[in-house]
Structure 1
Amino acid sequence: MFNSTSVFFLSHLLFLFSRIYTVLTRLFINLGVNEKTASDDACRIEHYISDESFKAIKKHMAQFC
């Protein structure tokens, strides 16, 4: 059974993963990758990317995309 802390943690993780996925998909599309491949690759990467790398990508996109 999940307690309220577990539910909060899981919902927060899902939110973060959805943000990572969205940002990466948008980045790949902006780079010219077709939408299906961009989506598939973002899905794979979101499970392995570090916080540091994700923050660097977001910073780059804010400046240049």
Structure 2
Amino acid sequence: MHSDVHLQLHALRAAELRTEADRFGPARAVTRTPGRLRGRLGWLLVEVGLRLVHSPRAHTARTA
């Protein structure tokens, strides 16, 4: 595919996506508050998981 054609197709698709996003714009503003809580909880779980993975182990196996 020629670069000019690819660029034109990209511009058309970007315009379609912007139009579609504008249709759903007001609905996203209504659901933004619950998303914040879900995001904070998600990052908290990630942080706890990373602490568990990187915590030093109390007992190590002995090698003879």
Q: TM-score, normalised by structure 2?
A: 0.42
TM-score normalized with structure 1 length:
0.41
**Larger CA Rg, structure 1 vs 2:** 2
